[in-house]
């Protein structure tokens, strides 16, 4: 008799709490993970895929699920630091798979060598390559994000990444490089 009472008591407590949790799960429902949106906003939106994901949004989703934060080469150190702040993890140096030189670069087609195969056009995520089959291709510098996705598919290796020359238009203040000392 006593054991039945025990089962009934525990069962009813469990049922009561279960109902409470069921109610709470409806009342406090979270539609989408807002952290993904915040991460996506921090990423440079080059959609270059150097992180191994098809674009910035999928990488944001992956970071939210625990992927390493140091895979965004175009974003560089700045982006890693911002992601680390948002996620509450340690800042990591950029992944070894990527070169650390993150000066802005654009692809450059050595036009004498181009055979007009259109393979780089298909690889370009931002349509920055102009050309047609059996016609020489060229890069629209203003559109190129420097993602270097077009370099690998070229069968004659006529695409190289060149550092953008610094002009008055794209020169940026690099205030962090000026040493600032706090005096007591």
Partner 1 sequence: MTDYLLLLISTVLVNNFVLVQFLGLCPFMGVSSRTETAIGMSFATIFVMTLASLLSYLVTTYLLVPLNLEYLTTMSFILVIAVVVQFTEMVVHKTSASLYRLLGIFLPLITTNCAVLGVALLNLRLQHNFFESIIYGFGASVGFSLVLVIFSAMREKLTNADVPTPFKGAAIAMITAGLMSLAFMGFTGLVKL
Contact footprint for partner 1 (CB under 8 A): 2, 5-6, 9-10, 13-14, 17, 20-21, 24-25, 28-30, 33-35, 64, 86-88
CA dihedral 59, 53, 98, 163 (to 10 degrees): -90
Q: ∠ CA(35), CA(44), CA(78), 5° rounding?
A: 85
Find how far residue 34's CA is from the centre of its chain. 16
Q: Which is nearer to partner 1, 89 or 152 (CB)?
A: 89
Quote the least distance from Cβ 135 to partner 1, whole Å. Answer: 50
Q: Which is nearer to partner 1, 29 or 181 (CB)?
A: 29
Cα separation, 21 vs 19, in Å, equals 5
Q: Which is nearer to partner 1, 10 or 141 (CB)?
A: 10
Q: Which is nearer to partner 1, 64 or 107 (CB)?
A: 64
Q: Work out whether strand 138-139 and strand 129-130 pair parallel, antiparallel, or are unpaired.
A: antiparallel
Distances (CA, A) of 150 to 1, 129, 173: 77, 9, 30
Quote the least distance from Cβ 80 to partner 1, whole Å. Answer: 17
Quote the least distance from Cβ 79 to partner 1, whole Å. Answer: 17
Quote the least distance from Cβ 34 to partner 1, whole Å. Answer: 5
Are residues 47 and 55 in contact, defined by beta-carbon separation less than 8 angstroms?
yes
């Amino acid at each position: 008799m006593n054991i039945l009472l025990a089962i009934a008591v525990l069962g009813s407590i469990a049922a009561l709490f279960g109902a409470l949790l069921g109610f709470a799960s409806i009342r406090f429902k979270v539609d989408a993970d807002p952290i993904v949106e915040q991460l996506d906003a921090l990423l440079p939106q080059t959609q270059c895929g150097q992180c191994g994901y098809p674009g910035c949004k999928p990488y944001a989703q992956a970071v939210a699920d625990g992927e390493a934060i140091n895979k965004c080469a175009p974003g560089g150190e700045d982006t890693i630091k911002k992601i680390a702040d948002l996620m509450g993890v340690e800042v990591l140096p950029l992944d070894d798979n990527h070169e650390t030189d993150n000066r802005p670069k654009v692809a450059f087609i050595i036009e004498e060598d181009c055979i007009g195969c259109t393979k780089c056009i298909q690889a370009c995520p931002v349509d920055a390559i102009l050309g047609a089959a059996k016609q020489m291709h060229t890069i629209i510098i203003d559109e190129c994000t420097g993602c270097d996705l077009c370099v690998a598919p070229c069968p004659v290796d006529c695409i190289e990444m060149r550092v953008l020359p610094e002009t008055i238009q794209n020169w940026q203040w690099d205030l962090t490089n000026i040493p600032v000392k706090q005096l007591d």
